[in-house]
Structure formats: structure tokens, C-alpha cells
Amino acid sequence: MYYSGDTDCAAGSTCVYNNDWSTTTTSTTSSTKTSTSTTTKTSTTSTKTSTTSTPSGSGSCSFGNPYENGYTAYLSPYYIAEVNAAIATQSSSTLKTKSAKVAQIPNFTWFDTADKVPTLGDYLADARSMQADGTKMILQIVVYDLPDRDCHAKASNGEYHIAQNGVANYKAYIDAIKSYVVQYPDVRIVAVVEPDSLANLVTNMSDSHCANAHDAYLQCTTYALQQLNQCNIWLYLDAGHAGWLGWQSNQDPAAQLFAQVYKSATPNRVRGLATNVANYNALHASTPDPITQGDPCVDELSYVQAMSPRLTNYGFPAHFIIDQGRSGVQNIRGQWGDWCNIKGAGFGMRPTNVTPDPVIDAIVWVKPGGECDGTSDSSSPRYDSTCSLSDAKQPAPEAGTWFEAYFEDLVNFANPAL
Ligand code: BGC
């Protein structure tokens, strides 16, 4: 595909065109060399041909937009418990009412430590029981436990370390997730895979932490894709956001890396990319935020539209889900790279599969609003100075823990209002 150069058939052979996208064996004879057989793309095709198998989950192995056909997103009991605990401490009845509404808006459950994984089995069992009356459920999760996690920041440093058996630990974590996924082939799962990790490999290799993590990240991600190759799961690799990989010079290297990872684990259940996870960008900014100046992608819509042809070119499926959970208020950041508990943020557009471009499968809420991005306590080992910038709300607790003052702002500044 896209090859227009000379062909190179050996004397006596016949040139044929081999469909690069095909996953079935072509009928060329062993002495026939195809016109594109010397390109990388064709060798990828042949890898696909030789390893293609049906994912092992049972049921129909459809692979369209998982959010189509009347699926209801499962509400995370973990998040509901967090919000209910918050409501118990609130005094304003208006705030309590609005907070209770937030608990009814689906977001993703993050498996940010291995000890949380057994709850996946509980949620899947719960979702299955809800399907008894014919309702079709979709469970939304985040796979987030890479060794040396968050290599370019500190706030979300994880439990595993490459130097301390981290890759093996991660594989066990993935195996545990898989063990639940295969037990519930009748429950649909959408998983965002490892926020920030591949994006860091695109832009932050000058950081020794990321350079050191490079091989392990790739090995672990490939393993996750291979193991989670089940009919009931749809995977979206995290793709940063417009202000990260949307810059002109980052777009192509990013598309190449996503395609490389995708091909490293063929066949797999990667449906596409997740963008703006835990970030604040607008889906479509009618007036671009001044901080976006110089980036051709001023919002998430322009970002996914710029990436789509590049991804397709490299053989990666150009479908997206976009986090809008905390994007209700714009023009609140000092710099586009700021990400920690941005002051003035509000809950954003509600999750929907009605989207402005067919490449977008759904608007989702990935970050559970109210869970902190990182602590502002400079004595903490996970302190990242980004969390003390003037646009970051303070004092802030550790990443992932409840930040009530921030939650209340998200509620009060929600757009559309709650
Ligand atoms: C934290 C995780 C948390 C996730 C969702 C991340 O920033 O590091 O612990 O689960 O956000 O709130």
C-alpha cells in the first residue's frame, strides 16, 4: 500500500499485489515473490497471516464501536462509595444533590495497584447480574500499573520497579486481570491501557527515567495486548492529548510508535486510542485557549482528526475515545503542559456515543473527578513541583486519594451544570 516504486520479481516469478490488510493467506506459490514483499508493511502482513487466530473469549467476536447498540455503562461502586463518603461530610443540601448526580455519571475504574484487581471479578459478576433482564452492560476500566510508572513525573509513581522484578510483577498483574476477563465472556469491557506511558516514550526519552523504562514499557504493553486478546474486551492505548502529541513534530513519531506496539502483539483487541485522559482540553474549542498557540491541534477534535490519517498510514486502527470529565471550563491553565489539579476546572460534557466525527467512538469520563492528580506536600516522595504551580489547587493530597475541595469545585463549575 502506498508503494509506487519498481517491482523486484526474480526471473521466472510472477508479480502480484498482496492486500496489506488481509489476515488470510494469499494464494501465491512459494516461488512467487510479491511486488511489495521487500517492504516492512508486507512483512507485517505476513506476521499477521501466520499468527492470526480468533481471540479466545467466547460469544460473537464483534469488533465495531463498543459503545454502539444500546450498551449501558456500569457505574463504579468504588467511585460511588467515594462520592457517598464525600456527601456525608458536606453541609450544603444543593451540593449534596449535585454530588449525588455525579455518582450516576459513568467513569472508569482504575486498577492502579494489583491489590484492587480482585474487585474486577466483583464488578463483572455484578454487571452480569444486571444483564439478567436483557440490559447490555459495558464495564470501563484503566490498566495502570507499569513498572517505573509515570517516568517523567513523580506524582503517580507506582508500586513496581524495573530493577526489582517489575516486568514479572506486571505480567502477573495482567494475568490476574485476564483471569477475570475470561470468566465473564458475556460482559463487555472497555480498557484504557496505561495512561501517559507511550506518550512519554515519544517525547521524553531525554529523561533518563523514561529512557530506562523504554524497553520494559514496550515489553509490558505488548504482553498486556497479547493476554487481553479476548472477544469481550476493547482496548484503547492512551495517546496523551492535543497539547502533548498534537504538536506537528510529534504526530508522526507518535503514530509510528502506536503502530509498532499494535503490530508487536498481533492479533489483538486494540480498537484505537484514548485521548485527554485526566486532562482538561476541550473537545472542540470555538475560540482556542491562548496557551495552545503554535500547536496545529488546538483541541481534541483537531488532534484526533490530525492523527487519523497518520495512524491509518501505519496500519493502526483510527478510532478514539476522548475524556471530557474535567473539561467543562477552559482557559484556566498557565501553560498547556500543566496537569495537576488545575484550579477552576469543572465537570464537562457528559459521556455519549453521539460524537462530532465518526472516528470518535465515544466521549467518556476516564478520570474519576475528585480523585487527586498529585500531592502538593513537598516532603512526600511522590511530590511533583507541578502540583505547587500557581494554577494548581492546594493543599492537595496524594494522587488517587479523595480531594474534597477539588471535587466541590468540579461540581460547582460543571458545564453543562449539574
Ligand atoms: C493516580 C491513581 C488514580 C488515578 C485515577 C492517577 O493520577 O496515580 O492512583 O487511580 O489517577 O484517579
Is 367 annotated as ligand-binding? yes
| pTM of the predicted structure, to 2 decimals | 0.87
**pLDDT tens across 23-52, in order?**
433 333 333 333 333 333 333 333 333 333
Ligand 1, atom 9: closest residue by C-alpha: 400
Ligand 1 centroid – CA 397 distance (Å)? 12
Ligand 1, atom 8: closest residue by C-alpha: 156
| Identity of the residue numbered 329 | V
| Range with lowest mean pLDDT among 2-11, 75-84, 258-267 | 2-11
| Range with lowest mean pLDDT among 58-72, 250-264, 352-366 | 58-72
Ligand 1 centroid – CA 107 distance (Å)? 13
Task: Establish whether 145 is a catalytic residue.
Answer: no
**pLDDT tens across 74-91, in order?**
999 999 999 999 999 999
What CATH number does residue 348 fall under?
Answer: 3.20.20.40
pLDDT of 154 over the 60 cut: yes
| Range with lowest mean pLDDT among 9-18, 198-207, 290-299, 335-344 | 9-18
The predicted structure's pLDDT at residue 13:
62
Ligand 1, atom 2: closest residue by C-alpha: 400
Mean pLDDT of the chain: 90
Is 281 annotated as ligand-binding? no
* 374 within some domain: yes
Is 371 annotated as ligand-binding? yes
* 403 within some domain: yes
Cβ < 6 A, ligand 1 pocket: 110, 112, 156, 367-368, 371, 373, 399-400
Range(s) of the domain holding residue 128? 13-412
Q: Of the residues 145, 148, 150, 196, which is catalytic?
A: 196
pLDDT of 357 over the 50 cut: yes
Ligand 1 centroid – CA 12 distance (Å)? 61
Number of domains forming the structure of the chain: 1
Q: Kindly indicate the confidence band of residue 20, based on its pLDDT and cuts at 50, 70 and 90.
A: very low
* 160 within some domain: yes
* 5 within some domain: no
* 140 within some domain: yes
Task: Establish whether 6 is a catalytic residue.
Answer: no
* 236 within some domain: yes
* 214 within some domain: yes
Rg (CA), the chain: 22
* 380 within some domain: yes
Ligand 1, atom 6: closest residue by C-alpha: 400
The predicted structure's pLDDT at residue 62:
81
Q: How many CB atoms lie within 10 A of CB 64?
A: 11
Q: Kindly indicate the confidence band of residue 12, based on its pLDDT and cuts at 50, 70 and 90.
A: low
